Amino acid sequence: MDDVAQPAVSQQPHNRQTDDGLWHTVALRLSQTWDFVDRRDIDKHLVSLFIMLGTVKLTAWAMRFAGAPHPGMSGTDMAAIIASVTGPYMALQAAAIGFYFNSRR
């Protein structure tokens, strides 16, 4: 018996004779690409970046909305509209950033 531990049966590669075509190569490369992305947490970084970009766009919209003339709309009404649009997005942002920092521990 040798000293090298054998991986579990489910972890051993089990290629069939027909596993040498185009789809096998595509699936293998996609699997390797995802492993690369997953090991470096690139997916978490990208999600956080997109949420931050959404925050920038939403804040720019709120500033344009607040600066545009709205006859007959009071400041309280305008603030309520901005809060109703930005509030749920800020909850999403808080959850995503919390997940991001907790996953880095």
- Tokens coding 71: 């006859």
Angle at 86 between CA 83 and CA 77, to 5 degrees: 25
CA angle, residues 38, 100, 54, in degrees to nearest 5 = 100
pTM above 0.75, yes or no: no
Averaged pLDDT in 10-residue chunks for the chain of 105 residues: 59 64 86 89 87 94 92 92 94 89 75
Could you give phi then psi for residue 19, rounded to 5 degrees?
A: -90, 55
Q: How confident is the model at residue 17, as a pLDDT?
A: 62
- Predicted confidence at residue 9, as pLDDT, reads 57
Question: In the chain, what are the domain boundaries?
Answer: 41-103
The closest of 58, 53, 51 to 97, measured between CA atoms, is: 51
Instruction: State residue 74's pLDDT score.
Output: 92
